[in-house]
């Protein structure tokens, strides 16, 4: 059984890939590979490298982050365990040792 999706036009199971296009040999229909990749429903959260993030993941901070109000700095390389994804401007809620609870942007972390 093939791991490739069936043709959306004629439902043939004999599809193949050429670069980033899926091609059906039966009806000659071509479609984008990006359209066929299954994404989870709802908002998709990705780190700075494009990896998919999920609740409970461990991430690493990729640059020094200055904290507003306290004047502290979260250093590059700090590991943050058990993240929680939320739908807001800062899309990661977490607890960082020595700093307590805070929110981070997913663009400043990488999945560990």
Ranges of each domain in the chain? 1-36, 58-111
Q: Name the CATH code of domain 1-36 (choices 3.30.200.20, 3.40.50.2030, 2.20.25.10, 2.40.10.220).
A: 2.20.25.10
State the DSSP string of 7-36. Answer: PTTT--S--EEETTEEE-TTT--EEEHHHH
Question: Which superfamily is assigned to 58-111 in CATH?
Answer: SH3 Domains (2.30.30.40)
Mean pLDDT for the chain? Answer: 86
pTM of structure = 0.62
SS3 1: coil
pLDDT tens by residue, 72-99? 899 999 999 999 999 888 999 999 988 8
* Percent of the chain with pLDDT strictly greater than 90: 43
pLDDT tens by residue, 33-46? 655 544 445 788 99
């Amino acid at each position: 059984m093939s791991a490739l999706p069936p043709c959306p036009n004629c439902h043939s199971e004999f599809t193949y890939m050429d670069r980033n296009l899926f091609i059906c040999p039966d009806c000659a229909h071509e479609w984008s590979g990006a359209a066929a990749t299954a994404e989870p429903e709802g908002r998709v959260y990705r780190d700075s490298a494009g990896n998919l993030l999920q609740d409970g993941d461990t991430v690493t901070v990729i640059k020094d982050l200055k904290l507003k109000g306290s004047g502290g700095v979260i250093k590059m390389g700090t590991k943050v365990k058990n993240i929680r994804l939320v739908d807001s401007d800062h899309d990661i809620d977490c607890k960082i040792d020595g700093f307590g609870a805070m929110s981070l942007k997913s663009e400043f972390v990488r999945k560990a």
